[in-house]
Structure 1
Amino acid sequence: MDGIREKIAAGLERAFASHGFAEPNVDTLREAAGVSLRTLYKYTPSRADMVKAALEHRHQRYMARVMDGLPDDPGEARALLMDRIGTWMQTEAAHGCLFHAAVAADPGNASVRDLLERHKKDVAERAAAAAGLAGQEVAMLVILEGLTQSWPLHGDQAVAAAKRLASAFASSNP
């Protein structure tokens, strides 16, 4: 992603994460992106393109922060993965998953739903592989989604519970 696209995508991600998908008007989005209206529309010609750019940026940041550099040991990887998701929730997503929020804001938008599905598929595959649970991607995703959804209510208790669930699941699926 070139510099201007990156800047726009980062600003749009921040704006949608802060204000939701319905509230921010084009002026708010332009200001968040830090570019002129002409430049914003050059790189993201429609609101749908703005949402897509924000979600693509979010996906890249999430995968880098949560999935990159996990230990080779599956048990250590499972524990660190849950800790990283807890940290992500605390610092980036206290209101929940931005991908789910985008789909909820525009349920008929097939491209947004495709981005959600791709994001969750990538997360499940990388997490299951790191956790030594290849072939159990759906089960791993259920644990991760449970953590993501329960974190706003339970914080560190949700992280600890997700660790226990992932460990118990791994023990029962050698």
Structure 2
Amino acid sequence: MSKISEGLERAFASRGFAEPSVEDLRDAAGVSLRTLYKYTPSRAEMVLAALENRHQRYLTRVFDNLPNEPEKALDTILSRIGKWMETETSHGCLFHAAVAADPRSQPLRALLERHKAEVATRAAAAAGLSSADTAPLVIIEGLTQAWPLRGEAAVDAAKRLAHALRSLGA
């Protein structure tokens, strides 16, 4: 299943959610149409599988092996998000794009909320701000949205905001 999810994630990340045909998705997954439908019986399930794969990859890339010192951990998280944006998705958050493509989908909305909640909780804990997970999430979301326009300058600004947040003891 992970091979299928990885291929689907690549296809949706590079071509969006409306453009790829089922045949394109089958090719990206590297399996037969029958196998693709066995594990993901609908396009909606294909999107969810792709996003679940992305969720796990993002958490691993951003939060694994962080420095123990909270300020360094927060800088590392923000730098890693900048690298993620540079290498994985220079035009914004794939989770938000999926919900925008299918705004009535409750499973997509629930996955978006779970992803953002886990990012917020992990960032706040690593930064020593465990009682205030909204502020780090706002900084991370701002970075994600500003990256396409400002690149590395967005990472630097996010770090300055994070340092100010920590100095306020939030």
The aligned counterpart of 2:27 is 31
AA paired with 2:19? E
Question: For the residues of structure 2 that align with 1:125 and 1:94, how far apart are their CA atoms?
Answer: 24
Gaps of 5+ in 2: none
Matched ranges for 1:94-173 at <5 A: 94-173=90-169
The aligned counterpart of 2:66 is 70
The aligned counterpart of 2:52 is 56
Displacement after TM superposition at 1:108 (Å): 0.2
Displacement after TM superposition at 1:12 (Å): 0.2
- From 10, 13, 19, the equivalent of 1:14 is 10
AA paired with 2:124? A
Question: For the residues of structure 2 that align with 1:93 and 1:138, how far apart are their CA atoms?
Answer: 23
Question: For the residues of structure 1 that align with 2:115 and 2:148, how far apart are their CA atoms?
Answer: 21
AA paired with 1:55? L
Any idea what SS the aligned residue of 2:31 has? Answer: coil
Question: For the residues of structure 2 that align with 1:63 and 1:147, how far apart are their CA atoms?
Answer: 16
Question: For the residues of structure 1 that align with 2:22 and 2:119, how far apart are their CA atoms?
Answer: 31
Displacement after TM superposition at 1:127 (Å): 0.3
TM-score (normalised: structure 2): 0.99
The aligned counterpart of 1:81 is 77
Give the RMSD, CA atoms, in angstroms.
0.7
Displacement after TM superposition at 1:165 (Å): 0.2
* Number of residue pairs matched by the alignment: 170
Gaps of 5+ in 1: none
Q: What are the Cα deviations for residues 39-72 of structure 1, in whole angstroms up to 9, with x where unaligned?
A: 0000000011100100000000000000111111
Task: Name segments (4+ residues, structure 1) moved above 6 Å.
Answer: none
TM-score (normalised: structure 1): 0.96
Q: What are the Cα deviations for residues 97-148 of structure 1, in whole angstroms up to 9, with x where unaligned?
A: 0000000000000000000000000000000000111111111100000000
Question: For the residues of structure 2 that align with 1:136 and 1:81, how far apart are their CA atoms?
Answer: 16
Say yes or no: does 1:47 pair with 2:82.
no
